[in-house]
Amino acid sequence: MAKKATHIAIYGKGGIGKSTTTSNISAALAVMGYRVIQVGCDPKSDSTSTLRNGDFLPTVLDTVREQSQLKIEDISKVGFAGVLCVEAGGPLPGVGCAGRGINSAITLLTEMKVFEEFKADIVLYDVLGDVVCGGFAVPIRNGLTNRIYVVSSQDFMAIYAANNLFKCVAKYANSGGALLGGVIGNNLYGSHAEELITDFTQKTNSAIIDFVPKSLVISQAELHGKTAVEAYPDSKEAQKYRDIAKKIISDETVTTPNPMDGLALRDWARGWGDKILKERTNAVFTI
């Protein structure tokens, strides 16, 4: 019997760096010798573009719409270091149901035995934005994924989205849903970022995986249609992603997060706001 791949879902607020993080992790894992599949679960279908030089890749859903018999080649492309890239795709903005789209794309991949035939060691799902309805919670439910990770910056709205996601994980925790691997801090700047995110994870029974700073190397790589791991393998950013990748593939520790309720989260954020403001003000006075 073929060994079963580890399935990992990566969530986070829109624009926070899910695709960047996921693609770099995929690249790092592939370089380490793992067979990796990355599935973009986002109608924008841009999740895997830095793994394949921004080439055109038809989405699963667009392809099903046109033809009935699908082959793996029709809906995937082998990218950097052998990563198999798949984009679920979805409807046009404002039309149909993207949540259901993700659902049916994943079902299709499973039915086509893509994971087995590719002999994948790990499958990474890069899931669109905030969990806005049941459809987007599918990778968390029903044991589809082994663990989920959340990407967050220190901005309140990113933390808010992470907290919402924790609610979703906690909700399905007792019925076979995936549990939380931890939080990946990303796009961090300023002196309080790491401390703030660490505090949040401590308050919510979640773990910190690592912190990725806001970095020119990462944006520069993206402009070249590549991951930092591919474009600047010697950079400290690439090293960071390799560390994260190692942790994700080898550390199976999970927690059931304990999200804050709305008021607690607000008060918590206010506390941090006041603290940061005070220190900045003090800093001005000391100049």
Partner 1 sequence: MKNMESLRTQCALQGALSAANAIGGVIPVVHSTAGCAYQNYLAGGLANGGQGAGLAGGLAVPSTNIVEKHVVFGGSARLREQLKNAVKVFEGKLFLVLSGCTPNLVGDDSKAMVEEIETQGYPAAYVQASGFHGSAYTGYELAVRSLVDFASKKTASPLTTVKGLINIFGIVPGQDTFWQGELLSLSREFSAAGLILNPLFGFNQTVENWKNIPHASLNLSLSTWGSGIVEYLKEKFGTPALKRSFVPVGAEDTKQLLLDIAGKLNFDEKQINNHAEKKEQEADYFISQFAEAYFNFNFQTDFSIAGPLSQAVGISRFLAYNLGFTPKTIIITDAPQLKDEPIGDILPHIDTKVNVFFTEDGNEISGLLKKGNPGLILGSTIDRITAEEKGAAHLSISLPVSDRIVLNRGYAGYSGALNLIEDIGTVLLKRRTQK
Q: Pick from ligand ATP, partner 1, Mg ion, none: which does 84 bind, CB < 5 to 8 A by kind?
A: none
Question: Which of 187, 204, 206, 227 is the binder for ligand ATP (CB under 6 A)?
Answer: 187
Q: Smallest distance from the beta carbon of 227 to Mg ion, in angstroms?
A: 13
Query: Facing residues of 121 across strands?
Result: none
**Contacts (CB under 8 A) with partner 1, residues 94-153:** 94-98, 100-101, 104
User: Which residue in 13, 226, 240, 247 is the catalytic one?
Assistant: 13
Q: Smallest distance from the beta carbon of 111 to partner 1, in angstroms?
A: 13
User: Which residue in 42, 121, 126, 130 is the catalytic one?
Assistant: 130
Could you confirm whether 44 is annotated as catalytic? yes
CB contact set of 187 (below 8 Å; sequence gap of 6+): 16, 17, 153, 212, 213, 214
User: Does residue 236 belong to the site contacting partner 1 (CB under 8 A)?
Assistant: no
How many angstroms separate the Cα of 219 from the Cα of each of 17, 39, 48, 213, 214?
11, 22, 15, 12, 9
Nearer to ligand ATP, 121 or 230 (CB): 230
Q: List, by residue number, the catalytic residues.
A: 13, 18, 44, 130
Binding site for ligand ATP (CB under 6 A): 12, 14-20, 42, 44, 129, 186-187, 212, 214-215, 218-219, 222
